[in-house]
Structure 1
């Protein structure tokens, strides 16, 4: 494990212990795999983490014994067979009286089994205790997100080459995805969206068997996964010559994104960024065609905090990475969305995705 990764793990563990103290719990049981990875660096598919004021443990099964020993430092590693029994045994040995757990990631069944195995331990539900730490990215995370975004930009060069009249949406998506994998993507952040013509009114219209036709908008929303970190970007193209209506709708969305990006800076409420985009679209007369939030955080998860949504009081901080993605979706006709990833900096923001945003006719 590189020294920088060990330093990240140590700093995160310290921050978690500070947050745990405020919860008035003796320990935290982490069951969310992304949260476990964030804390420990472990990339396996079976992991539980238990953290106390002075000790920390990673629990996994025998498939990952060697992997855990290579990836995880600063945690006691325990190879287990039955998770509930192992967790209960460790909690008992540590003399834990109050065990906090991730309420959003523990099923009713698991909670019941833990209660039966630990009758004298208070189980305390918590929400977002690790997620709040993940919202601000450290330097290592930012570099991983930059790399993921740089690779994703190359996919849009492929899209501009491949999208033509008569091409099937799924065929274009597959070709782009294969090229991205060859260039180093570990996988996709989500199913590629290529939505042409009326399908562009579907915000999550993943690539279908539809033929792309001349005179249509084509919404392309893609993301890749690199070293655990996601990227997310959307561009909208027109096939053939753009009409007056194409130019009007596209210009409104482009202007809305510019307004929202201007609002991005430390100390601003997330909801204010959403309002900047939403108000611009409303003033242009298309407010009813923009229903979703303006953006979301990006990191180990493709959707994480902060939520750039109406009324969100969360304050933006330097080091957050978020998307800004307003859109207009008109049923029966089509849609436009423009999305970029932005890093919140001391003086404002820095774009991590950099595909051009002028309306391009293919």
Structure 2
């Protein structure tokens, strides 16, 4: 964590910024090792070019922050105290006068208008600038420890798909399969699911972000699983599609097209490749098969502390892949009245190419 703080502090100094104030759970965790979901309460981290950082959190979370290894000052407050007044007093005590903070880096995508007003009441002449891009840059490249955790999180995602397939039987509902998956994963010791687990049957598999319900499984349905876990603060994300008892000719064609698109894109996963080339590679396969209008989303996204991180794998993103990037590769085809297929893997870019973290089979499986 110290190295990460030093990198941000050096950037602040280089850009002639007086301080950074980060309030998102993900960025505070990245820089402090302290994972906190404060709900409506304030969680914040001040980082300075020279002075030691300052963590602000609810009083009831102070022990957890210390247990996480945070060794610098913690400003804990209870529900009857005003944390903004406490921040002002703490800074003055440190001889950091609010009038002297003229430029403050914040997460513009996260900081609410109300909190921006409160910050400006503390720092009356402040100019807010964005810390978002720098934090994206820092978090985008994973270190060995992060990759090790993500390997295990991916292994557990594989297990979740295995449990889901084992739960398939005639008449079972989507939500019943979701419950089986999540119970089995919680028994493995995960912190939680990375997002709402998706299990979709039949025509509903044709909804890229469908919501599981009481739809019952029947022969000939495609079954789409999209799930991930949170382990030690890091996410996994896998999608697999199977057929129940039988598969139609068009369903098979869709599946094989998506699989080829994904394999071709994975073949481009190496340092220096423009990100947009991955999306175009997969999209070309799908368009050639006549399903271009049925692939409505980007190829994938960054992965890490959050399930959706930088970079975005769109055709227009020409940033090069770099060693240490963690991304998903997940083309899909969704046809109304037929169903949908999506195949997704978690991928780490390495010096030589890539490492695919998720290992569950991608062969078309007819189960039941």
**TM-score normalised over the length of structure 1:** 0.94
1:165 maps onto 2:170 in alignment: yes
Matches for 1:3-82 after TM superposition, within 5 Å: 9-46=1-38, 47-54=43-50, 55-80=52-77, 81-82=81-82
Which residue of structure 2 lines up, in the alignment, with residue 264 of structure 1? 269
Matches for 1:238-277 after TM superposition, within 5 Å: 238-277=243-282
Task: Tell me the distance in 1 between the aligned counterparts of 2:194 and 2:211.
Answer: 13
- The answer as to whether partners of 1:238 and 1:360 remain within 8 angstroms in 2 is yes
TM-superposed deviation, 1:61: 2.2
Task: Tell me the distance in 2 between the aligned counterparts of 1:140 and 1:102.
Answer: 25
SS at match of 2:109: helix
TM-superposed deviation, 1:74: 4.4
1:318-346 Cα offsets, whole Å, 9 max, x none, are: 01111100000011221000001011011
| Farther off after superposition, 95-104 or 180-189 | 95-104
TM-superposed deviation, 1:147: 0.8
Which residue of structure 2 lines up, in the alignment, with residue 287 of structure 1? 292
Task: Tell me the distance in 2 between the aligned counterparts of 1:228 and 1:182.
Answer: 17
Matches for 1:109-148 after TM superposition, within 5 Å: 109-148=114-153
Task: Tell me the distance in 2 between the aligned counterparts of 1:45 and 1:166.
Answer: 38
1:256-307 Cα offsets, whole Å, 9 max, x none, are: 0001101111111111111111111011111000010000111110100111
Which residue of structure 2 lines up, in the alignment, with residue 87 of structure 1? 87
Give the unaligned 5+ runs of structure 1.
1-8
- The answer as to whether partners of 2:34 and 2:70 remain within 8 angstroms in 1 is no
TM-superposed deviation, 1:152: 1.3
TM-superposed deviation, 1:187: 0.8
Which residue of structure 1 lines up, in the alignment, with residue 154 of structure 2? 149
Task: Tell me the distance in 1 between the aligned counterparts of 2:141 and 2:207.
Answer: 31
**TM-score normalised over the length of structure 2:** 0.92
TM-superposed deviation, 1:91: 4.5
Task: Tell me the distance in 1 between the aligned counterparts of 2:63 and 2:204.
Answer: 47
- Over 3 Å counting, the alpha-carbon distance change for 1:140 and 1:183 in structure 2 is same
TM-superposed deviation, 1:125: 3.8
SS at match of 2:267: helix
SS at match of 2:296: coil
Task: Tell me the distance in 1 between the aligned counterparts of 2:14 and 2:285.
Answer: 41
- The answer as to whether partners of 1:56 and 1:74 remain within 8 angstroms in 2 is no
SS at match of 1:347: coil
Which residue of structure 2 lines up, in the alignment, with residue 335 of structure 1? 340
Which residue of structure 1 lines up, in the alignment, with residue 325 of structure 2? 320
- The answer as to whether partners of 1:168 and 1:210 remain within 8 angstroms in 2 is yes
Give the unaligned 5+ runs of structure 2.
none
Task: Tell me the distance in 2 between the aligned counterparts of 1:310 and 1:338.
Answer: 18
Which residue of structure 2 lines up, in the alignment, with residue 6 of structure 1? none
**Count of aligned pairs:** 354
Task: Tell me the distance in 2 between the aligned counterparts of 1:123 and 1:361.
Answer: 56
Task: Tell me the distance in 2 between the aligned counterparts of 1:90 and 1:310.
Answer: 47
